Amino acid sequence: MADPKVSTYVEANATRFLDELKALTAIPSVSALSEHRADVHRAAEFLVSQLRTQVGLPKAELIETNGHPLVYGESTQEAGKPTVLIYGHYDVQPVDPVELWDTPPFEPTVKGDNLYVRGAVDDKGPMFATIKALETLMQHGGLPVNIKVLIEGEEEMGGEAIAEYVMKHPDRLQADCALVLDTGMVAQGIPTMSYGLRGIVYFEIVANGAGRDLHSGVYGGIAPNPIQALAWLLADLKGRDGHINVPGLYEMMQPLSEDERDQLTQLSTEVGQRLMDAGGLQELPGEANYSIAERATARPTFEVHGIRGGFTAEGAKTVIPATATAKVSLRLVPDQKPAEVMRLVEQQIQKLTAPGITFEVQGIHNGDAIVLSPDSPAFKAAAAALEDEFGKPVTLLREGGSIPIVALFDSVLKLPVVMMGFSLPDDNVHAPNEKFYIPNYYAAIRSVAGFLQRIDQ
Ligand code: BES
Ligand code: MN
Ligand code: MN
């Protein structure tokens, strides 16, 4: 049963907990934009101060890196007790298109049961809930286990700082399991744990033509056009059938078990409907012969994020541009190693060049896919805590998104990882009007406390 001391403390401090989350989310810690560098730092300082003064970890520290700082704190005096590594990220996505926000993106605004602000649910709300869970337990006889808290400020930009830190300090981060609150719930009221994340390679393709802009009357019909060449390339790389035309890509992937495919197929209609509703879609086109749930989580993807080039201002200008650029990513599934995938993709791009065109490929970031075992004691403790909180059995979810460091917790630190989800399908993650359903904030605090109390048993 839920610990009444925990529930009472959360209830008694609900307003302050929300105010503190508002203070954190009011800091525009957009990791991708250099003009927010000082804000990102300020968010890290806020968390260090929380760990020191509210949780009572006097040695909590801000760790400078080549990029944005890490926040670290630990409490390890419980000899013989397990150690939980708690992860989260305090950086947020950019806010554009800002005109589509109903309230300013960094003015935390409560409407009904929701807190609207960039970072509300990805990931400041759930991440901060882990800190409030620690505070709550500290107020009631101390932490039942040892903890190490590691919070990064580069998750949304694919930064390397945390990976470097994990590689360099595996001893310091030694633990018995890792806890991550940065994933979703299938629906409000349905406790959800994720057992998989996709990997990613993100890169830019630059198409170069003449080296300078040309008059399309003089050169039209004879000069290479980089935008056209880029369009051909992108169409060749993924056809209308949704198949990715990169030889070797599908051969690398770990095949899905028949069991898991069946599970995904069973979920598919429901998952599809939910994604259509939340995304405002009438169709879900993609690879034939794969269910929607499988395509959304267990198949590799190829998506174009942006194209730049030529003349896009008001009016008309008859120009053949010198260059064009596309930002592209592939989501990956287990055994599709990012470096190997990049090699195959680059090879294929060079094969698909057009006369007079050169393609340059520049990697931006990458991360490994992971599928976790739901059998670890940590997984079971988390499921029990969530079931207690929501009064329903846990639903297991394979996520289509990526959290690159999770694969390293598994491969480098050898930790069983548990992911408890608290974001809802309509929380507008990465989009205008991002929100956190406030009852899920308190549910997350109680669930994390319940998990830490159970992991020892
Ligand atoms: N919290 C998300 C990951 C996520 C998304 C989990 C959807 C579950 C459902 C995370 O902050 C994120 O956005 N990750 C990026 C990673 C990338 C920038 C390396 C992503 O998935 O695009
Ligand atoms: Mn996140
Ligand atoms: Mn995100």
State pLDDT tens for residues 239-279.
999 999 999 999 999 999 999 999 999 989 998 998 999 88
pLDDT at 351 over 90: yes
State pLDDT tens for residues 167-197.
999 999 999 999 999 999 999 999 999 999 9
Which CATH superfamily includes the segment(s) 4-197+369-454? Zn peptidases (3.40.630.10)
Per-position DSSP letters for 255-297, written without gaps between them:
PPPHHHHHHHHHHHHHHHHHHHHHHT-S-----TTS-HHHHHH
The whole-number pLDDT of residue 79 equals 87
Do residues 121 and 435 lie in contact, with contact meaning Cβ atoms separated by under 8 Å?
yes
pLDDT at 40 over 70: yes
155 is an active site residue: yes
Q: Which of 262-276, 328-342, 430-444 has the lowest mean pLDDT?
A: 262-276
Phi/psi of residue 440, nearest 5 degrees: -70, -25
State pLDDT tens for residues 49-86.
999 999 999 999 999 999 999 999 999 988 899 999 99
Q: Topology of domain 200-270+286-366, per CATH?
A: Alpha-Beta Plaits (3.30.70)
Q: How confident is the model at residue 1 (pLDDT cuts 50, 70, 90)?
A: low
pLDDT at 457 over 80: no
Whose C-alpha lies nearest to ligand 1, atom 5? 401
Q: Using CA atoms, how far apart are residues 215 and 194, in angstroms rounded to an integer? A: 54
pLDDT at 364 over 90: yes
Determine whether the shortest distance from the Cβ of 192 to ligand 1 is under 6 A.
Answer: no
Token pair for residue 261? 């495919």
The whole-number pLDDT of residue 456 equals 78
Choose the residue to mutate in 151, 398, 402, 423 for probing ligand 1, maximizing ligand atoms within 8 Å of C-beta.
402
Q: Using CA atoms, how far apart are residues 412 and 173, in angstroms rounded to an integer? A: 10
Boundaries of every domain in the chain: 4-197+369-454, 200-270+286-366
pLDDT at 315 over 70: yes
* Distance in Å, CA 95 to ligand 1 centroid: 15
Do residues 45 and 62 lie in contact, with contact meaning Cβ atoms separated by under 8 Å?
yes
Choose the residue to mutate in 30, 156, 422 for probing ligand 1, maximizing ligand atoms within 8 Å of C-beta.
156
Residue with tokens 């934009």: 33
- The packing angle between helices 438-454 and 14-25, to 10°, is 110
From the list 155, 182, 399, 427, the catalytic residue is 155
State pLDDT tens for residues 230-240.
999 999 999 99
Whose C-alpha lies nearest to ligand 1, atom 18? 156
Token pair for residue 235? 């169409």
| Torsion angle (degrees, nearest 10) of CA 274, 278, 281, 283 | -20
* Distance in Å, CA 123 to ligand 3 centroid: 7
Q: Using CA atoms, how far apart are residues 86 and 75, in angstroms rounded to an integer? A: 12
Do residues 131 and 50 lie in contact, with contact meaning Cβ atoms separated by under 8 Å?
yes
260 is an active site residue: no
Q: Using CA atoms, how far apart are residues 85 and 150, in angstroms rounded to an integer? A: 7
Q: Using CA atoms, how far apart are residues 274 and 276, in angstroms rounded to an integer? A: 5
Whose C-alpha lies nearest to ligand 1, atom 13? 156
| Torsion angle (degrees, nearest 10) of CA 124, 128, 130, 135 | 180
